[in-house]
A = this chain, B = another copy of it.
Amino acid sequence: MIKVGIIGATGYAGGELVRILMGHKEAEIVWYGSRSYIDQKYADVYRNMFQIVDAKCMDDNIEALADQVDVIFTATPQGFLASVINENILGKTKIVDLSADFRIKDVKVYEKWYGIEHKSPQFIEEAVYGLCEVNRDKVKGARLIANPGCYTTCSILTAYPLAKEGIIDMRTLIVDAKSGTSGAGRGAKVPNLFCEVNENMKAYGVASHRHTPEIEEQLGYASGENVTISFTPHLVPMNRGILATEYATLKKDVTGEEVKAIYDKYYADEKFVRVLGEGVCPETKWVEGSNYVDIGFKLDPRTNRIVMMGAIDNLVKGAAGQAVQNMNLLFGLPESEGLELVPMFP
């Protein structure tokens, strides 16, 4: 039985980790870390866990935690893990970090987009970017996993095969992404109030959202080019779900069958990626509560562009589900253990 500690267990991503791990046969949570709710019963913070989780919330003492567990999930604000990680901790336990601290290889890029100094750049190189479908083998031997962001997971996987195969002109790539509100976290801020979000829609972080360099770096590896994209996130009045609509000019004449074949080449054996046929538009509801990425596309001969579309549940494949998928790889378990979550509809 893998012993699990969570730091940041009372945010939405942390709560989803708990939900998923309750159904995992080989893991048990022994530390529900939450600085805001120390000593309160976890089930008093998330009442859905009443009579399921009896534990109280613990602090975020990662040194103490490292002695007790096999793996730590950090679902914490940017900068936290970088400020506390050290060789001693990594010698005792694996870490799957749901924050952005170790996602970006170029520390200057990190510091520029996140506006904070990176306190542990020495661990950046060894950290493995935990996009399992792309980096599966590297994940298996890692000590420190940088779990991808929600927008980035969806955006990268949707374009990855076509970027890798050189089908699309990377200079033309535009990612217009839409997210449910759980992505904004559980902080008590006026813009996240029900009455402000409900019956409303807006873009935010235009040309400046911090997931941009992460997408660029990964698609840069895939395409072998420096990639600079337009990325625009939007807030949608729903709890869960990300839909990424991506536009790129085609570099080659391709048919829908050929594009489908390329997607299948990369994803046919992937448990959690479902390639829909050409012209089938993914819907966020079809993946809700599950670890799936649904991908569709449409060729547009009029503009010589392709429109790629991907949908995920931001809290599952976009956060906690992928984190558990990484944990499974780290410990040699079946990759889908605990993740056989059937999407809930309606």
Closest to A280 in B: B47
Q: Which of B238, B300, B302 is the one whose CB lies under 8 Å from A198?
A: B238
Q: Is the CB of A201 within 8 A of B48?
A: no
Q: Is the CB of B193 within 8 A of A188?
A: yes
CB neighbors of B among A174-203 (8 A): 174, 176, 178, 180-182, 186, 188-190, 192-203
Q: Is the CB of B193 within 8 A of A284?
A: no
Q: Is the CB of A238 within 8 A of B190?
A: no
Q: Is the CB of A207 within 8 A of B299?
A: yes
Least Cβ distance of A47 to chain B in Å? 4
CB neighbors of B among A330-344 (8 A): 340, 342-344
Q: Is the CB of B207 within 8 A of A198?
A: no
Q: Is the CB of B193 within 8 A of A190?
A: no
Distance between Cα atoms of A343 and B286 in the complex (Å) = 18
Least Cβ distance of A57 to chain B in Å? 15
Choose among A193, A234, A305 the residue with the greatest number of B CB atoms under 10 Å from its CB.
A193
CB neighbors of B among A37-82 (8 A): 46-52
Q: Is the CB of A207 within 8 A of B285?
A: no
Distance between Cα atoms of A89 and B283 in the complex (Å) = 40
If the complex has contacts A176-B245, A193-B192, A307-B232, are A289 and B344 also in contact, measured as CB distance less than 8 A? Answer: yes
Q: Is the CB of A346 within 8 A of B206?
A: no
Closest to A171 in B: B303
Chain B residues with CB under 8 Å of A305's CB are: 174, 230
CB neighbors of B among A1-59 (8 A): 12, 15, 19, 22-23, 46-52
Q: Which of B176, B279, B283, B346 is the one whose CB lies under 8 Å from A240?
A: B346
Closest to A301 in B: B207
Distance between Cα atoms of A309 and B233 in the complex (Å) = 12
If the complex has contacts A195-B12, A195-B181, A345-B46, are A202 and B239 also in contact, measured as CB distance less than 8 A? Answer: no
CB neighbors of B among A217-257 (8 A): 228-230, 232, 234, 236-241, 243, 245, 247
If the complex has contacts A281-B204, A344-B344, A345-B48, are A199 and B307 also in contact, measured as CB distance less than 8 A? Answer: no
Q: Is the CB of A200 within 8 A of B303?
A: no
The answer to whether A131 has its CB under 8 Å from any CB of chain B is no
Chain B residues with CB under 8 Å of A240's CB are: 199, 346
**Can you name 17 extra interface pairs (CB under 8 A) apart from A19-B343, A50-B286, A202-B282?**
A19-B344, A23-B342, A48-B285, A48-B287, A48-B344, A48-B345, A50-B274, A51-B274, A174-B305, A176-B245, A181-B195, A198-B198, A200-B283, A203-B307, A203-B309, A206-B279, A240-B346
Mind listing 15 A-B residue pairs with CB under 8 Å?
A12-B195, A48-B285, A48-B286, A48-B342, A49-B342, A52-B342, A174-B247, A174-B305, A182-B195, A192-B193, A192-B195, A194-B196, A201-B285, A203-B281, A230-B305
